[in-house]
Amino acid sequence: MGNKSSLMLQNEEIIAIQTETGFSPSQIERLYSRFTSLDKGDNGSLSREDFLRIPELAINPLGDRIVQAFFAQNDGYEERINFRQFMRVLSRFRPIKKNRENKLNSREDKLRFAFKMYDLDDDQKISREELLAVLHMMVGSNISTEQLSNIADRTIMEADKDGDQCITFEEFCTTLERTDVEEKMSIRFLH
């Protein structure tokens, strides 16, 4: 099976993906093997259902939001994604290397990705209702509705600098200035 997947990926494609995403050729080949194992229809693309078969996503309270991020392309939503689109999203989770930062996993791009997890209606603002909905997704019934409301209110109050009762991307970035986003939003991919 490993041979099948690496034979289907051409050397030019590996080089182009490496240039665009910063992954090494061996990482690309391993991720391609994983991609093809998820592709139950064997048509070179993945659906939302294919992603939801990944156990780690299935149990993640934000699994649906993470999966949706893979399908958000150019201000629209795709029904299926190909390997290159898959790699672009994964590259956002690569650790940032001081001398090899690529545009897909910069601090700003990681923050944009996180912001989109909260911006449920894609209006470029996080409202109290959206924040509350995501908090509820994350903690379920482990915290009372009143406690979640207090957390949402306090977060909006602290982050909202222009008084519109929402958090803009700029306000989101300011709030997370001292947070090590680069480390918190990085996954170590095997070489």
pLDDT tens digit sequence for 67-103:
888 887 645 567 889 999 899 888 888 877 654 555 6
- Which residue bears the tokens 């070179």? 44
Q: How confident is the model at residue 104, as a pLDDT?
A: 64
Q: Which two tokens stand for residue 164?
A: 């519109």
Q: Which residues contact 129 (CB under 8 A, 6 or more apart)?
A: none
pLDDT top residue among 13 and 72: 13
- 105: pLDDT strictly greater than 90: no
Q: What percent of the chain has a predicted confidence (pLDDT) above 70?
A: 86
What is the DSSP annotation of 85-96? HHHHHHHTTSPP
Q: List domains and CATH numbers for the chain.
A: 2-91 (1.10.238.10), 103-181 (1.10.238.10)
Nearest to 68 by CA among 55, 59, 77: 77
Q: Are 20 and 43 in contact (CB under 8 A)?
A: no
Nearest to 92 by CA among 116, 122, 56, 126: 116
**CA dihedral sign, ordered 177, 72, 52, 7:** negative
- 127: pLDDT strictly greater than 80: yes
pLDDT band at residue 13, thresholds of 50, 70 and 90? very high
pLDDT top residue among 5 and 27: 27
> What pTM, to 2 d.p., does this model score?
0.76
Q: Are 191 and 26 in contact (CB under 8 A)?
A: yes
Torsion angle of C-alpha atoms 148, 153, 155, 157, degrees rounded to 10: -170
- 2: pLDDT strictly greater than 50: no
pLDDT band at residue 176, thresholds of 50, 70 and 90? very high
How far CA 169 is from CA of 72, 80, 92, 126, 176, in Å, comes to 17, 28, 17, 8, 11
